[in-house]
Amino acid sequence: MTLLIFYLLLALVVSFFCSMAEAVLLSVRPSYVAALAKKGGTGSRALSEIRENLDRPLAAILTANTIAHTVGAAGVGAQAAIVFGSNSLGVTSAVLTLLILVLSEIIPKTLGATHWKALAPTMAILIRALTRLLFPFVWMSERLTRLLSPSGAGAHTFSRDELSAMAAIGAEEGALESKEFNIVTNLLHLRKLSVRDIMTPRPVIFTVGAGMTVQDFFAKYSDNPFSRIPVFDKSLDDITGYVLKTDLLVAQARDEFATTLNDFRRDFLVLADTTTASATFDRLMHEKSHIGLVIDEFGTLQGLVTLEDVVETLIGLEITDELDRVDDMQALARERWRDRMQAIGIDPDSVEQES
C-alpha cells in the first residue's frame, strides 16, 4: 500500500509541477522578462536564461512529465494488482486517468496561466535547475529537433499588426489609457503616411518677399503668429528660405529697420512629396531642423512640413496656442479651393467626384 501511494504521488506531484511550469513559461511575455531583468528582481536572471531558448526548458519539462506519467502509471498498476488483485486494474486505470487529468493537467495549467506573474520568478529558478538535471535528455531532444526542422524554423518575432493588437488589448484591459493607445497606434502607422498627408498645403502658406524691410514687415504683419516665415524672391515657387521672427524682433529692437529679410534668411530642408511621415521626422531630427520644404518630382512647391505636424499626427491632436487662428491648415486649403471654384462658377463637388 505504501508503494502504491508513493507511485501515485510521484505521478501527480511531478506532473502537477511540470504542467504548471509549462503554463507559466508559455504565458510569460517578452516585455515582462525585459522589465523584470531591468529591475533585477528575484529570478530575473534565470527567467532571462530560459527564455533565450524555450526549446530547452520545454524539453526538460516534457521529459520529466513523461517519466512521471510512465513510471507512476506502471507503479500504480503493479501495486494495485498486488493490493487489490488483478481484477482491479480497469478501475485503477480509470481513477488514475481522472486524477491525472484533473489534478495534474487542468488545475495546474489553469493556475499557471492565471497567476504566471507571481509564479514566474520562482518557477524560472526551478525550471533552470530541472533543465540542468535532465541535460542529457535535453541535448538529445535538441539534436533530434535540428534534424527534423531547419535552422531558425519556428522563430517568432512580433509583427506590426500584432503590436497594434497588443496595444488594443492593453487599452481594453486598462493597462493603457486611450491617449496612450492612440499614440502607439499612430506611431505604428506613421510610415504608411506620406508627407503630403501632414504638410501645410501650398495655397495657405504665409510668405513674404525677401526684399521686404524689417520696418515694412512689422508695419504690415505685426500680429503674424508664425515663428518661421518663408521668404520668396520673385514668386511663391521661388522660395529662397525662411526667417525666424525672433531675429526680426531683435533687429527691430536694435533699430535696424532698413535691413531686408533676406539678410536673416536661413536655408530650408527640402523633402520630396513621396517621403513618408516617419522618414520626414527622421530627416528633421537628423538635420536639427524644425521646418522643411515639400516639392514634387518636378521641383514645384507643394507645401511646408514642421516637427509640429509630425507630433500632431503622432498624438492625434492639433497643437495650438493662444495665437493660432486655424487648427487644420489642410482643411483651410480645401475650404479656400472650394470658394475659388464657386467664384468662377464651377461646382466643387462635381470636380471632386470626377477626380
pLDDT at residue 229 in the model: 92
Q: State the maximum Cα–Cα separation within the chain, in Å, rounded to a whole number.
A: 115
- In the three-class reduction of DSSP (H, G, I as helix; E, B as strand; rest coil), residue 232 is classed as strand
pLDDT at residue 17 in the model: 92
Q: In which residue ranges of the chain is pLDDT below 70? A: 149-158, 317-355
Please name every residue paired with 243 in a beta bridge, in sequence order, or none if there are none. Answer: 229
Q: Where are the alpha helices (DSSP H) in 156-201?
A: 160-172, 178-188, 195-198
Q: Which of 236, 233, 259 is nearest to 248 (CA)?
A: 259
pLDDT at residue 149 in the model: 64
Residues 304, 291 contacting (CB under 8 angstroms): yes
- In the three-class reduction of DSSP (H, G, I as helix; E, B as strand; rest coil), residue 210 is classed as coil
Residues 6+ apart with CB under 8 A from 207: 229, 230, 231, 232, 236, 239
pLDDT at residue 106 in the model: 92
Beta-strand pair 239-244/228-232: antiparallel
Displacement of CA 90 from its chain's centroid (Å): 55
Residues 278, 198 contacting (CB under 8 angstroms): no
Superfamily of structural domain 195-324: CBS-domain (3.10.580.10)
Domain ranges, ordered by start, for the chain: 2-148, 195-324
pLDDT, tens digit (0-9, with 9 covering 90-100), for 108-167:
999 999 999 889 888 999 999 999 998 888 888 878 877 776 555 555 566 777 788 888
C-alpha cell at 246: 525672433
